Amino acid sequence: NAGVTQTPKFRILKIGQSMTLQCTQDMNHNYMYWYRQDPGMGLKLIYYSVGAGITDKGEVPNGYNVSRSTTEDFPLRLELAAPSQTSVYFCASSQSSTGELFFGEGSRLTVL
Amino acid sequence: AQSVTQLGSHVSVSEGALVLLRCNYSSSVPPYLFWYVQYPNQGLQLLLKYTTGATLVKGINGFEAEFKKSETSFHLTKPSAHMSDAAEYFCAVSGNDDKIIFGKGTRLHILP
């Protein structure tokens, strides 16, 4: 029962480096979301996708990119990492925007 | 666009006392409303949701919430707090644009 799997769980980046956070789900969900969580700020929506080949911006998309080539995978790419991108990132999937979100365990990213 | 306001970033209640966590939403369309709980170092899990129909919604672990359109509220309650309820609670709203927007969260502390 894998559900939503995120990798890596922890990563330290230097300013200006790039990386991709991987997210895969095995529930055949069409809807997938990326959030970042910062202390006292709740979860902020970065990007979301309602199906393969379709992505859209959320509340805080600047500095990030996504792609959705398959139903299962929804990677989040950070280009030119900045200290402001230090955060915990959560990927989630759902049958629809009115259904339950299933979350991964999170990826803790530090940019120094 | 929809938004969520959670009143009180920290709430403390005694074990056995009533739990009340407040959530107000803003949405230009009939909203779908959710409460999620997050235990330390974990992802979020669904407590309950309101889509349509009965305005009093029962969830897991004895929690319930009432949708009040006139007050644009969706407060979470539990009659008797248990030590295991200590966690962070998030209210979320979904509209007709497939985005799921979260509030800033309320950390619930249970006093022995």
Q: What is the pLDDT along chain A (112 residues), one digit of tens a residue?
A: 679 999 999 999 999 999 999 999 999 999 999 999 998 899 999 999 999 999 999 999 999 999 999 999 999 999 899 999 999 999 999 998 888 999 999 999 999 9
pLDDT at position B43: 84
Between CA B75 and CA B65 the distance in angstroms is 5
Distance from CA of B82 to the nearest CA of A (A): 24
Q: Which of B29, B39, B27, B42 is nearest to B92 (CA)?
A: B27
Between CA A44 and CA B104 the distance in angstroms is 9
The type of residue at A29 is H
Between CA B70 and CA B85 the distance in angstroms is 29
Evaluate the omega torsion of the peptide bond into residue B112 and state whether it is cis, within 30 degrees of 0. Answer: no
Distance from CA of B46 to the nearest CA of A (A): 6
pLDDT at position B72: 94
Sign for the pseudo-dihedral over CA of B21, B26, B30, B36:
negative
pLDDT at position B53: 86
Contact state of B100 with A101 under an 8 Å Cβ cutoff = yes
Query: Confidence band (pLDDT; 50, 70, 90) for B40?
Result: confident
3-state secondary structure of A51: strand
Q: Which of A98, A15, A23 is nearest to A68 (CA)?
A: A23
Closest CB to B46 among A44, A56, A100: A100
Q: State pLDDT tens for residues B22-31.
A: 999 998 888 8
Q: Indicate the pairing of strand B10-14 with strand B106-111.
A: parallel
- Say yes or no: A60 contacts chain B, CB-CB below 8 A: no
Contact state of A58 with B99 under an 8 Å Cβ cutoff = yes
Nearest chain B Cα to A49, which residue? B98
- Chain B positions touching chain A (beta carbons under 8 Å): 6, 9, 32, 34, 36, 42-46, 49, 51, 90, 94, 98-105
Contact state of A45 with B36 under an 8 Å Cβ cutoff = no
Contact state of A101 with B105 under an 8 Å Cβ cutoff = no
Q: Which of A97, A105, A107 to mutate to test the interface with B (most CBs of B within 10 A)?
A: A97
Contact state of A56 with B90 under an 8 Å Cβ cutoff = no
Residue pairs between chains A and B whose CB atoms are closer than 8 Å: 60
Q: What is the Cα Rg of chain B in Å?
A: 13
Q: Which of B4, B27, B32, B98 to mutate to test the interface with A (most CBs of A within 10 A)?
A: B98
Q: Do residues B80 and B17 lie in contact, with contact meaning Cβ atoms separated by under 8 Å? A: yes
Between CA A49 and CA A23 the distance in angstroms is 12
Between CA A35 and CA A47 the distance in angstroms is 7
| Residue B28: other Cβ atoms inside 10 A | 10
